[in-house]
Amino acid sequence: MRNIIISDFDETITRCDTIGTIAKLPYLITPELKPEWSHFTKNYMDGFRKYKYNGTRSLPLLSSNAPLIISPSNFDGLFKDELQYQKYNRTIELNSVNEISKQRLFKSITLEQMKQFAKEQNHDNCLLRGGFNQFCSSVIKNFQDDFYILSINWSREFIYEIIGNKEVNPDHVLCNGLQVSAGKPPPIYTGEFDCGLLTGSDKIRSLNEIVGKTETHNNGNETCCYWYIGDSETDLLSVLHPSTNGVLLMDPVENPSKFLKITEQIIGVPSDKITRFQTDNALGWLKFCEKENGKFAYLVKSWDSLRDLITETSNSRC
């Protein structure tokens, strides 16, 4: 069986959100640069209030009624409101990145400057969550074909350097990347963004494309098991998607308020499962949702636990 790993980046592979880290670079290169970063954080919050969603977001995502099995035939209907909510959020995200583009914050920064900055920020792999490198070396057999990043981060060059494995296919690092000038070398950022990956609905589109291309190239030669790993609201549709074994990778002790918000308020994981996952230190993972064809959604505490889960699952039908 072939395991295809599709992972979020910020706070899934990394210990923290690295957008704020990337935002430091223009000011390190040009200390007198204006406007200050606080201008852009204020603009984001202003946009969040200005474009507040007035539609229906039906929460929790999983009904408390009879046990539900997610399938390709019912996914769009079950999560219609959430798909619409995530699509609407593009307005907020576009408002933010358009202001950054307008102010030319990243214009003319070279790709080499971004790569060197990433190396400096990740000294001794300090930005990576524990167990990620060990997971890669033990679970992923073919980085060129079987490993993807799906992120709303701004720089594929930054992501590529932080991951640090040169076998990763650069074309498999998908994000809301800063665009690169097609002019003379050295390659530089134009200051504009791709804007292809901004919300959870964009991740679903990219996920469907990955699965479709993989199945076409695979041509039925071997069984493919797709794993989507994430930690935030933009990941939940992909975690619940019927094509994947979905993983919500969160340690409930590290950030209990975030854990409870996502599992209890947004997803609707049964309270007994939440309590068991929180209190049983020996429990590395827990199924919380069933999908068609023997797939599941899981709560998982760490990359080490995920490694054990995939190893155990690989010998069974996916």
> Contacts by 51-59 with C-beta closer than 8 Å and gap 24+?
51/88, 51/91, 51/92, 51/95, 53/85, 53/88, 53/89, 55/81, 55/84, 55/85, 55/88, 56/81, 57/81, 57/82, 57/85, 58/82, 59/265, 59/266, 59/268
How many residues are recorded in the chain?
Answer: 318
What is the DSSP secondary-structure string of 243-262?
TEEEEEE--TTTSHHHHHII
Q: How far apart are CA 318 and CA 312, in angstroms?
A: 11
Locate 279 and state its tokens: 């209190």
Q: How far apart are CA 87 and CA 200, in angstroms?
A: 8
178 beta partners: 193
Closest CA to 108 of 194, 22, 183, 198: 183
What is the pLDDT, as a whole number, of residue 66? 53
pTM: 0.95
Q: How far apart are CA 19 and CA 155, in angstroms?
A: 9
244-249 and 224-230 as β-strands: parallel, antiparallel, unpaired? parallel
What is the pLDDT, as a whole number, of residue 301? 98
Q: How many helices (H) and strands (E) does the chain have?
A: 15, 10
What is the pLDDT, as a whole number, of residue 166? 73
Alpha helices in the chain (DSSP H): 19-22, 25-29, 37-50, 75-78, 80-88, 90-102, 111-121, 132-139, 143-146, 156-163, 200-218, 236-240, 256-260, 271-279, 303-313
Q: How far apart are CA 183 and CA 234, in angstroms?
A: 34
Is-contact 288 269, C-beta < 8 A?
Answer: yes
Render each residue's pLDDT in the chain as its tens digit; 318 residues.
899 999 999 999 999 999 999 999 999 999 999 999 999 999 999 999 999 999 999 999 997 665 689 999 999 999 999 999 999 999 999 999 999 999 999 999 999 999 999 999 999 889 999 999 999 999 998 988 999 999 999 999 999 999 987 789 999 999 999 999 987 789 999 999 999 999 999 999 999 999 999 988 877 678 899 999 999 999 999 999 999 999 999 999 999 999 999 999 999 999 999 999 999 999 999 999 999 999 999 999 999 999 999 999 987 655
Locate 136 and state its tokens: 């890669």
E strand or H helix that includes residue 18: none
Q: How far apart are CA 85 and CA 236, in angstroms?
A: 12
Q: How far apart are CA 318 and CA 315, in angstroms?
A: 9
What is the pLDDT, as a whole number, of residue 214? 92
| Helix/strand/coil for 178 | strand
Phi and psi for 291 in degrees, rounded to 5? -125, 170
**Domains defined for the chain, CATH in brackets:** 2-30+69-313 (3.40.50.1000)
| Helix/strand/coil for 95 | helix
Is-contact 295 244, C-beta < 8 A?
Answer: yes
Instruction: Report the interhelical angle of 156-163 vs 111-121 (nearest 10°).
Output: 40
What b/e readout covers 239-276, taking b as 16+ CB neighbours within 10 angstroms?
bbbbbbbbbbbbbbeeeeeebeebbeebbbbeeeebee
